[in-house]
């Protein structure tokens, strides 16, 4: 291609003009004297001189462009920031979150970049506040403790969380994973190696989910299996539940829903089905797996999670109600400035997610899947009301409002809370009592 | 429609109204007459418009009476199932007593309360009556549907002859439509099974891909199937000939706690029984939220963990008020 000398000259003039005007733009924004930039600021903020000796310095700081972030005269935001503290970083780092992310780190979503980064300088790469996993475990304390205690460690975790996770966001997978879980695993663990094939009983596990059995953060079981392993998995008898690996439908279970589990857990199943009321999810398509892991789990009894989140998954209304009550409790406590308030607003076992303190998870002969034949017995397991004087209750004491009902704890209280003290459905005790004792109604 | 008419009521084009009325515009002498008719129709329409829109928001339940006992004075115990027929038959599933109670309810007069005990039935949690007066009950313990004669004698089980694989089905609920076809909510295989009046397989409609847990189904007068997802607080629907379900509503969580039962009336309105919230949520045919009725409590007219609800053509509503061990009767006021 033949380039005209005249054209080349014009092009170089335009480019030079753009470079000069860009450099001047910043200075001219505040009409700073030449070379005034950072030097001028440091003449007052001399404690920053030490900071700038750190190994890693944020680029605008390094080039003395303090006014990239701060307004030297006045600002509507703290620290004379030119923009809201949660938005200012995205002015330059706008591509930190991909366009269609599958997961975003909460602090990034909140724009709380300073939770991890020093905006000026630090001795850690990427101006991080702390190096390596130490920074992550500041927030993810439980994870840090579990990793520290794990008997069998996963090497990439030791190297750093960023081996597998993108600290900002991921457009490929959940949990900030840099890639789809299996793809990530097989980038190190080659599935065609004989030992890998043998360990997985010839099953093409690359089509499955590694986290169904393995705890990628380390565990106390060899092979970093979760701490609680289903016996057939521990015994490596996958065919007890699944079609053989040679089958065209390899991972298909031999039977559906509860029918599969019944093969081994027949005693428990027979007991369940002998009751008047079954917890319906047990007999749906997913069956036992609504609550239990089929292979291995961190939780006892191979539960999918803690009972609060497990029960709350299907009973969100109950859990939301508990959150509201806890909030009300907190507000009322704050309003009384530490003075004790009589009567509970929340019921401890429900707040703690101990649903099984009153309910049976599989089946019961009682309504609401209660663990005892009557509310009096259920409540009595924790409340020793029966040891002292109470309002008449029991099978022989009819409720004056309705002859088909006998007096029990639920005649006056609602165990899940009502928004009123003592878990009663009225603002005060008198309002409750006069429902039956009408002669005292004013 | 109005743009076809000028301010003087003169015809300047073929009106949709005249098309609808089947009238040809008479440009010589009839134009003023047609114009006047249109004006009258418009005025009536305008006058009726607010009434119609108001009526959609004023559907309410008026308390009539409560039923506590059988004919011998025996009390109900946590009744969960209820069904009514156009002939004034009212059947109550007295779940806690493992029996059915048969009443007649006509002109606001409740009679009998005869006990029906069937050896094959325990824990009746859902009831239906077909046009022949046959009684169907879902046994909550055995999870089987049994069929009985109008007098309560056992006929047999509804086992779904000819059901495609998997042959196992677990009915969570069921409904019988105007043609006596039996619609079963099979939670084990995530489908609705439709059987003919004799219990033979006709077709199935699979549950949608994404759902929480379906606790009840209903069939409206047009044959549309409705499902209530108690976890997502959403209603799904499938038209009569559809092969799949789609959401009819968004999440109704703001109005609904935990709904385990739904039914429809002859106007196509849907009634969701809010078990945990002790109330009834009313939806229009298109799934629009129209309001919430009743509330939680022990007094008559209030509900405490209600279970099934039934409506007859007269707009009489029967609710199995399980937690209060009674049945409550309401009138639907539009």
User: Cα(A70)–Cα(A76) distance, rounded to whole angstroms?
Assistant: 11
Query: Which residue bears the tokens 């114009």?
Result: B35
User: Cα(A308)–Cα(A357) distance, rounded to whole angstroms?
Assistant: 12
Q: Looking at A75-79, A268-272, B28-32, B166-170, which range is the least confident one?
A: B28-32
Domain B58-333, CATH 1.20.1260.10 — does that match? no
B125 to chain A: nearest residue by CA?
Answer: A277
pLDDT digits (tens, 9 = 90+) for B55-107: 455 789 999 999 999 999 999 999 999 999 989 999 999 999 999 999 999 99
ipTM (interface predicted TM): 0.83
- Domain membership flag for residue A269: yes
pLDDT digits (tens, 9 = 90+) for B174-193: 999 999 999 999 999 999 99
User: Cα(A318)–Cα(A325) distance, rounded to whole angstroms?
Assistant: 11
* pLDDT, mean of residues A93-107: 93
Find chain A residues with C-beta within 8 A of B307's C-beta: none
Residue B25 backbone dihedrals phi, psi, to 5 degrees: -70, 125
Find chain A residues with C-beta within 8 A of B143's C-beta: 278, 283
Residue A353 backbone dihedrals phi, psi, to 5 degrees: 75, 25
Size of interface A-B (CB pairs under 8 A): 79
- Say yes or no for a CB contact (<8 Å) between A276 and B258: no
DSSP type of residue A90: G
- Say yes or no for a CB contact (<8 Å) between B190 and A285: yes
Q: Is the dihedral of CA A421, A424, A425, A430 positive or negative?
A: negative
**pLDDT higher at B35 or B31:** B35
User: Cα(A282)–Cα(A364) distance, rounded to whole angstroms?
Assistant: 13
Q: What order do you get walking across the sheet with B154-158 strand by strand?
A: B124-129, B135-139, B144-148, B154-158
> Which of residues A305, A322, A345 is at a domain's end?
A305
Based on the fold, state whether residues A195 and A292 are members of the same structural domain. yes
A398 to chain B: nearest residue by CA?
Answer: B75
User: Cα(B43)–Cα(B45) distance, rounded to whole angstroms?
Assistant: 5
pLDDT of residue A399: 94
Nearest by CB to A404, from B68, B123, B190: name it: B68
Nearest by CB to A405, from B166, B189, B325: name it: B325
pLDDT of residue A166: 96
Res A430 pLDDT > 80: yes
pLDDT of residue A46: 83
Structure tokens at B158: 């509804």
Task: Write the DSSP string, A367-404.
Answer: GGGBSSSSHHHHHHTT-GGGGS--S--STT-EETTEEE
pLDDT digits (tens, 9 = 90+) for A244-290: 999 999 899 999 999 999 999 999 999 999 999 999 999 999 999 99
- Say yes or no for a CB contact (<8 Å) between B68 and A402: yes
pLDDT digits (tens, 9 = 90+) for A115-141: 999 999 999 999 999 999 999 999 999
Nearest by CB to A280, from B172, B305, B324: name it: B172
- Domain membership flag for residue A367: yes
- Domain membership flag for residue A203: yes
Res B11 pLDDT > 90: no
pLDDT of residue A23: 54
B254 to chain A: nearest residue by CA?
Answer: A317
pLDDT digits (tens, 9 = 90+) for B102-156: 999 999 999 989 999 999 999 999 999 999 999 999 999 999 999 999 999 999 9
Res A400 pLDDT > 80: yes
- Say yes or no for a CB contact (<8 Å) between A405 and B324: yes
Task: Write the DSSP string, B33-53.
Answer: HHHHHHHHHHHHHHHHHHHHH
* pLDDT, mean of residues A322-348: 91
Quickly state the pLDDT bin for B26 (edges 50, 70, 90): very low
Residue pair A241/A232 in contact by the 8 Å Cβ criterion:
yes
Quickly state the pLDDT bin for A51 (edges 50, 70, 90): confident
pLDDT digits (tens, 9 = 90+) for B236-286: 999 999 999 999 999 999 999 999 999 999 999 999 999 999 999 999 999
- Domain membership flag for residue A63: no
Query: Which residue bears the tokens 């607003």?
Result: A345
Based on the fold, state whether residues A275 and A190 are members of the same structural domain. yes
Based on the fold, state whether residues A428 and A360 are members of the same structural domain. yes
- Say yes or no for a CB contact (<8 Å) between A367 and B123: no
Residue pair A226/A237 in contact by the 8 Å Cβ criterion:
no
- Domain membership flag for residue A17: no
- Say yes or no for a CB contact (<8 Å) between A404 and B140: no
Residue pair A115/A107 in contact by the 8 Å Cβ criterion:
yes
Based on the fold, state whether residues A300 and A339 are members of the same structural domain. no
Find chain A residues with C-beta within 8 A of B188's C-beta: 256-257, 283-285
SS3 A280: helix
Which of B298, B301, B306, B307 is the best residue to mutate to test the A interface, defined by the most A CB atoms within 10 Å of its own CB? Answer: B298
pLDDT digits (tens, 9 = 90+) for B284-317: 999 999 999 999 999 999 999 999 999 999 999 9
Quickly state the pLDDT bin for A82 (edges 50, 70, 90): confident
**pLDDT higher at A422 or B22:** A422
Q: Among B280, B268, B201, which Cα is nearest to B237's?
A: B268
pLDDT of residue B106: 93
Nearest Cα of chain B lies from the Cα of A256 at a distance, in angstroms, of 8
Query: Alpha helices, DSSP H only, in A33-126?
Result: 37-44, 48-51, 59-62, 106-109
Nearest Cα of chain A lies from the Cα of B155 at a distance, in angstroms, of 23
pLDDT of residue B36: 63
Q: Among B324, B267, B331, which Cα is nearest to B293's?
A: B331
pLDDT of residue A40: 80
- Domain membership flag for residue A336: yes
Domain boundaries, chain B: 2-55, 58-333
User: Cα(A76)–Cα(A84) distance, rounded to whole angstroms?
Assistant: 8
Q: Looking at A25-34, A200-209, A333-342, B214-223, which range is the least confident one?
A: A25-34
- Domain membership flag for residue A42: no
- Say yes or no for a CB contact (<8 Å) between B276 and A367: no
pLDDT of residue B23: 34
- Say yes or no for a CB contact (<8 Å) between A284 and B187: yes
User: Cα(A378)–Cα(A319) distance, rounded to whole angstroms?
Assistant: 21
**∠ CA B118-A362-B96, rounded to 5°:** 30
Based on the fold, state whether residues A280 and A360 are members of the same structural domain. no
Whole-angstrom Cα Rg for chain A: 32
Q: What order do you get walking across the sheet with B201-206 strand by strand?
A: B171-176, B182-186, B191-195, B201-206
Residue pair A341/A421 in contact by the 8 Å Cβ criterion:
yes
Structure tokens at A270: 């027979």
Q: Among A372, A373, A378, A406, which Cα is nearest to A391's?
A: A406
- Domain membership flag for residue A174: no
Based on the fold, state whether residues A218 and A290 are members of the same structural domain. yes
Q: What is the pTM of this model?
A: 0.81
Domain of A217, in residue numbers: 181-305
Find chain A residues with C-beta within 8 A of B166's C-beta: 256
Based on the fold, state whether residues A341 and A405 are members of the same structural domain. yes
Find chain B residues with C-beta within 8 A of A398's C-beta: none
Nearest Cα of chain B lies from the Cα of A1 at a distance, in angstroms, of 60
**Total number of domains in chain A:** 2
Query: Mean pLDDT of all residues in chain B?
Result: 87
SS3 B131: coil
Based on the fold, state whether residues A192 and A300 are members of the same structural domain. yes
User: Cα(A400)–Cα(B69) distance, rounded to whole angstroms?
Assistant: 16
């Amino acid at each position: 291609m033949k380039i005209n000398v005249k054209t080349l000259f014009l092009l170089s003039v335009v480019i030079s003009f753009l470079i000069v005007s860009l450099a001047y733009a910043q200075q001219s924004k505040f009409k700073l004297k030449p070379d005034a930039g950072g030097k001028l600021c440091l003449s007052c903020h001399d404690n920053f001189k030490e900071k700038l000796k750190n190994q890693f310095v944020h680029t605008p700081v390094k080039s003395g462009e303090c006014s990239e972030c701060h307004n030297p005269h006045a600002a509507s935001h703290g620290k004379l920031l030119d923009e809201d503290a949660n938005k200012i970083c995205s002015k330059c780092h706008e591509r930190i979150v991909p366009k269609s992310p599958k997961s975003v780190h909460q602090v990034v979503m909140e724009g709380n970049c300073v939770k991890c980064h020093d905006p000026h300088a630090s001795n850690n790469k990427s101006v991080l506040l702390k190096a390596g996993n130490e920074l992550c475990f500041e927030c993810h304390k439980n994870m840090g403790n579990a990793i520290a205690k794990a008997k069998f460690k996963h090497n990439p975790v030791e190297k750093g969380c960023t081996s597998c996770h993108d600290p900002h966001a991921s457009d490929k997978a959940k949990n900030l994973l840099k890639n789809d879980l299996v793809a990530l695993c097989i980038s190190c663990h080659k599935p065609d190696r004989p030992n890998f094939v043998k360990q997985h009983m010839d099953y093409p596990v690359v089509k499955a989910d590694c986290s169904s059995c393995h705890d990628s953060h380390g565990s106390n079981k060899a092979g970093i299996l979760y701490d609680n392993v289903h016996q057939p998995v521990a015994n490596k008898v996958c065919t007890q539940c699944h079609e053989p690996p040679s089958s065209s439908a390899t991972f298909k279970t031999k039977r559906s829903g509860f029918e599969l589990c019944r093969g081994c857990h027949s005693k428990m199943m027979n007991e369940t089905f002998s009751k008047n009321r079954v917890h319906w999810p047990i007999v749906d398509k997913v069956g036992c797996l609504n609550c239990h892991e089929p292979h291995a789990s961190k939780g006892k009894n191979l539960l999918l999670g803690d009972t609060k989140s497990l029960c709350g998954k299907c009973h969100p209304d109950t859990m939301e109600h508990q959150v509201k009550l806890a909030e009300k409790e907190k507000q009322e406590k704050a309003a009384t400035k530490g003075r004790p308030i009589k009567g509970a607003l929340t019921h401890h076992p429900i707040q703690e997610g101990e649903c099984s303190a009153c309910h049976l998870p599989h089946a019961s002969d009682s309504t609401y899947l209660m663990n005892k034949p009557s509310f009096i017995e259920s409540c009595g397991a924790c409340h020793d009301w029966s040891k002292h004087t109470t309002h008449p209750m029991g099978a022989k004491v009819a409720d004056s409002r309705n002859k088909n009902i006998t007096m029990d704890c639920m005649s006056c209280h609602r165990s899940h809370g009502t928004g009123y003290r003592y878990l009663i459905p009225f603002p005060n005790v008198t309002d409750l009592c006069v429902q039956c004792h009408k002669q005292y109604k004013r | 429609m109005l743009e076809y008419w000028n301010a003087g009521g003169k015809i300047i084009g073929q009106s949709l109204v005249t098309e609808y009325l089947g009238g040809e515009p008479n440009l010589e002498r009839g134009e003023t007459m047609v114009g006047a008719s249109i004006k009258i129709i418009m005025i009536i329409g305008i006058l009726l418009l607010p009434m119609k829109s108001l009526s959609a928001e004023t559907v309410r339940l008026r308390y009539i009476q409560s039923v506590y006992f059988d004919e011998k004075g025996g009390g109900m115990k946590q009744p969960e199932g209820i069904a009514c027929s156009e002939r004034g038959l009212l059947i109550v599933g007295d779940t806690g007593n493992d029996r059915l109670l048969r009443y007649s309810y006509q002109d606001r007069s409740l009679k009998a309360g005869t006990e029906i005990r069937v050896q094959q039935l325990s824990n009746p949690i859902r009831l239906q009556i077909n046009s022949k007066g046959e009684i169907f009950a879902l046994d909550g313990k055995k999870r089987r549907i049994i069929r009985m004669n109008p007098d309560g004698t056992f006929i047999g089980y509804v086992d779904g002859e000819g059901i495609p694989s998997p042959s196992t089905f677990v009915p969570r609920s069921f409904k019988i439509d105007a043609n006596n076809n039996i619609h079963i909510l099979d939670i084990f295989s995530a489908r609705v099974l439709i059987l003919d009046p004799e219990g033979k397989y006709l077709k199935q409609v699979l549950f949608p891909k994404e759902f929480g847990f379906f606790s009840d189904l209903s069939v409206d007068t047009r044959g549309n199937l409705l499902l209530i997802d108690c976890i997502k607080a959403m209603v799904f629907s499938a038209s009569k000939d559809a092969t799949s379900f789609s959401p009819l509503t968004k999440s109704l969580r703001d109005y609904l706690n935990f709904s385990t039962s739904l039914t429809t009336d002859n106007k196509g309105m849907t009634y969701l029984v809010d078990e945990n919230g002790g109330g009834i949520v009313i939806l229009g045919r298109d799934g629009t939220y129209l309001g919430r009725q009743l509330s939680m409590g022990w007094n008559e007219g209030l509900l405490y963990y209600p279970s099934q609800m039934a409506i007859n053509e007269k707009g009489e509503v029967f609710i199995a008020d399980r937690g209060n061990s009674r049945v409550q009767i309401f009138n639907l006021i539009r």
